[in-house]
Amino acid sequence: MANFRFGSNDYTVNIRAQQHVNFFPGWDAHRLALTFEVTAHGGFTVDAPFLVSGALWTHETPGPASWIGVLHTPRPVGLKSFATNLTLETSVTDQQLRGLEKARAGNDLALRAELSLTALAETQHWPVADDQEVIRVPHATWSNALTQLDAGAFVDVLVPVTTVEAWATGARRIREAKSAIRDGRYEHAVALARAALDPVREASNTRRVHDRAVEKKAGERDQEERWAMLTQSAYALFSGAPHDDSGITENFTWTRADAIAAVATAASLLARLEQLP
């Protein structure tokens, strides 16, 4: 929480960042709106108008460029003893968004707002105070906001809580695989995705159905057989991560995009078990 002190000990203004973000699309540049809560304490004048301005930077994000843009609000904020909402906006280009996505690599996004409060009426004190506030936006919140721009799509697969031990083990492996992706251990994430497919293959008799399906032309396979083909093909592909067969899988390489595709596929097939008869 940012703390702005006016006078020696007369009154303070606290600004706390919220996790909500909103985009308004434009041509190659978009308006990003951030939400804050403002609360005043001490001997302030109720509804005294303040102008809030500043700059937005990335925080703890690797990369050569960390400055995003100038923050501003279209109107002054009036001081209250209770929390009121403040919206600050900046412009973000498509190129900046691509850079942010690459730098955060699927993690939560941390931004830093360096703010200045300027009193427009409280002239008995020095009218300006500065502080900064870190804004931590969860991965899902930021990804969903990006869909407002048609700049990307976000799909979150929830694997239900279950009492079936094998399915619960598969869900745990999905969670471990997501952590491995965040840590940059992409091959390990793919290996965990393969392991998460074990209960899917067992519950759906995938190998038996697959062996029956391969004897048919692709267009003649029924729906169950086509699901089996997908599951078994995914399992065979992901098996290249834990195995180093000479001349074959020992040469496999796995990128972050590969790992995400593997984990999303395994999670979706695992979640689908809940709806099977």
Place of tokens 């919140």: 141
Full 3-state SS string of 59-71: CCCCCCCCEEEEE
Q: What is the CATH number of the domain that holds 171?
A: 1.20.120
Same domain, 171 and 96: no
pLDDT value at residue 15: 93
- Please, is 151 exposed, middle or buried when counting C-beta atoms within 10 Å of its C-beta (0-12, 13-18, 19+)? middle
> Which residues in 239-255 are b (16+ Cβ under 10 Å) and which e?
bbbeeeeeeeeeebebe
Asked whether residue 158 is assigned to any structural domain, the reply reads: no
Structurally, the chain folds into a number of domains equal to 2
Q: Is the pLDDT of residue 250 over 60?
A: yes
**Domain boundary, last residue among 138, 155, 178:** 138
**Domain boundary, last residue among 123, 138, 153:** 138
20 vs 141: CA distance, rounded Å: 7
Asked whether residue 170 is assigned to any structural domain, the reply reads: yes
Same domain, 130 and 171: no
Q: Is the pLDDT of residue 183 over 90?
A: no
Q: Is the pLDDT of residue 185 over 60?
A: yes
Same domain, 42 and 79: yes
Per-residue pLDDT of 28-52, as tens digits, reads 889 999 999 999 988 888 888 989 9
Per-residue pLDDT of 98-134, as tens digits, reads 888 878 877 889 999 999 999 888 667 788 899 999 9
Domain of 200 in residue numbering reads as 165-275
Same domain, 49 and 131: yes
pLDDT value at residue 158: 66
The confidence band for 62, taking pLDDT boundaries of 50, 70 and 90, is low
The confidence band for 223, taking pLDDT boundaries of 50, 70 and 90, is very high
Asked whether residue 206 is assigned to any structural domain, the reply reads: yes
pLDDT value at residue 247: 72
pLDDT value at residue 64: 60
Same domain, 120 and 199: no
Q: What does the DSSP assignment read for 56-115?
A: EEE-S--SS--EEEEEE-SS-EE--SS-EEEEEEEEEEHHHHHHHHHHHTTS-EEEEEEE
> For the whole model, what pTM was predicted?
0.65
Same domain, 198 and 250: yes
Asked whether residue 145 is assigned to any structural domain, the reply reads: no
Same domain, 98 and 173: no
